[in-house]
Amino acid sequence: MHTRVSRKKDKTYQYLKPCEAYRSPEGQPRTLVLTTLGRLNQLDRRKIDAAMEALLAYGTNGKILRASDLVPGDYQSLAKS
């Protein structure tokens, strides 16, 4: 699963959308947009963090790796996560 930021044509609106990648029966890569969370300039980042933490209760990976957890140039810290 990944997120995508989409832009409306001829406008500066940007929307945050969680997506899932898959392949069509013909083997072509496709993206399924699961939902639209809203416009980036109107989102409360604390609410997004809270929603992500709540979703972790249903997953098997008990941790979110944040950019602030990383040490620049220390790629071994990724292997420990």
**Domain boundaries in the chain?**
1-41, 44-81
pLDDT at residue 81, rounded to an integer: 47
pLDDT at residue 23 tops 90: yes
Query: Phi/psi at 16 (nearest 5 deg)?
Result: -95, 125
Predicted structure pTM score: 0.56
Residues whose CB falls within 8 Å of the CB of residue 26, separated by 6 or more in sequence, listed in order? none
Looking at per-residue confidence, does 10 or 73 come out higher? 10
Residues whose CB falls within 8 Å of the CB of residue 7, separated by 6 or more in sequence, listed in order? 13, 14, 15
**Mean pLDDT in residue range 33-62:** 80
Q: What would the two tokens of residue 33 be?
A: 């947009």
Tell me the pairing of strands 2-7 and 38-39. Answer: unpaired
pLDDT at residue 75 tops 80: no
pLDDT at residue 74 tops 70: no
